[in-house]
Amino acid sequence: MAFDRLEDLRTFALVVDSGSLSSAARTLQLSTNAVSRRLQRLEAQAGARLLHRTTRRISLTDEGRIVYTRCSRIVAELDAVEDELHPTGDPLQGAVRLALPPAAATRHLLHSISTALSAHPALKVQLRIANTSVDPIAGGVDIALHVGPVSDSSLIARLLATRSWVLVASPEYLKRHGTPRTLTDLANHQCLRLLADRPQRTWNLVDRKGRRVKALVGGTFECDDSRVLGDAVYAGLGIGVRSDEELASGLAAGTLVHVLPGYRFGAFELYALVPPGRLRIPRVAAFVELLREVMANA
């Protein structure tokens, strides 16, 4: 098998990056049918289906993931060569697609994005908010923020920051329900839990000596959005989970109280996951650095 049409590979990579045939067609100034024919030609050369296509979305097959991982590097290298040979002034132009969990879409981040867009008029940002981890290749994004260890070695991972989370509540909640003194007290409190496939009945914590402990948690409020869970803490709905940095600002403002300070959640790392080759594109590299600065100062 030989992929002898570079335009087909570039089109395939653009379809995956943009998330749809119609979006790729607009960028290439082609009809959707012309883009579809290029994909069909590439799939015929590959001898396998590369994309699952529905009326609403596309996703990579296993074979498509292999082809995309390789061809995206080739396309990125060619784009870099073209930029070096034919510079067009501002290197930060075009669209950057980001996937972030709700809690990461802070005012500080949005302010930094606003500053970048003002400084680079040809730059565009597409922000996708997702409560679950996003595969940047399958999801068609340039950068996905990932929490915890990275298991996919086909992706480029850049460490942004290390975070630690603690238990907090509003003064109003503790005035009404009392302050828990031991871990076992949490079973009789309103603990604000993340809504997931499995009910969250326990919290895994670490004590001051680094020993892992498990606490049963009670409560009647669950939500699948971490940002809403944060707002629920301030609204006095119960005991929640917030970062060290947010606790510090909440203590200063009198809006948060540190609950069971002898325990905390284990530290975890935040990574920017990038498809192979994309870091060679200046706008993508610049936004990874922007995320690093925002997370470092969060």
Residue range 8-22: mean pLDDT, rounded? 84
Q: Give CA–CA dist 262/260, Å, rounded.
A: 5
Q: Give CA–CA dist 3/43, Å, rounded.
A: 10
| pLDDT of res. 1 | 47
| pLDDT of res. 109 | 92
Predicted confidence (pLDDT) at residue 2 exceeds the cutoff of 70: no
pLDDT in tens, 230-265: 999 999 999 999 988 889 999 999 999 999 999 999
**DSSP state, residue 239:** B
Question: Which pair of tokens denotes residue 274?
Answer: 């990038």
Same CATH topology for 89-152+272-298 and 165-266?
Answer: yes
| pLDDT of res. 241 | 94
Ordered by start, the domain boundaries in the chain are 1-87, 89-152+272-298, 165-266
Burial label for 188, CB within 10 Å (0-12, 13-18, 19+), is middle
Q: Where are the alpha helices (DSSP H) in 60-170?
A: 62-85, 107-119, 136-139
CATH of 1-87, one of 1.10.10.10, 3.40.920.10, 2.115.10.20, 1.20.1050.40: 1.10.10.10
Tell how many helices (H) and how many strands (E) occur in the chain: 10, 15
Predicted confidence (pLDDT) at residue 32 exceeds the cutoff of 60: yes
| pLDDT of res. 7 | 86
pLDDT in tens, 33-72: 999 999 999 998 888 999 988 766 788 898 988 888 878 7
CATH of domain 165-266: 3.40.190.290
Q: Which fold has domain 89-152+272-298?
A: D-Maltodextrin-Binding Protein; domain 2 (3.40.190)
Predicted confidence (pLDDT) at residue 102 exceeds the cutoff of 70: yes
Q: Give CA–CA dist 21/194, Å, rounded.
A: 35
**Cβ-contact 13, 72 below 8 angstroms:** yes
Question: How many Cα atoms sit within 13 Å of 158 on the Cβ side?
Answer: 23
The helix (H) or strand (E) run that includes residue 202 is strand 202-207
Q: Give CA–CA dist 60/228, Å, rounded.
A: 32
Percent of the chain with pLDDT over 70: 94
Please state, rounded to an integer, the average pLDDT across all residues of the chain. Answer: 87
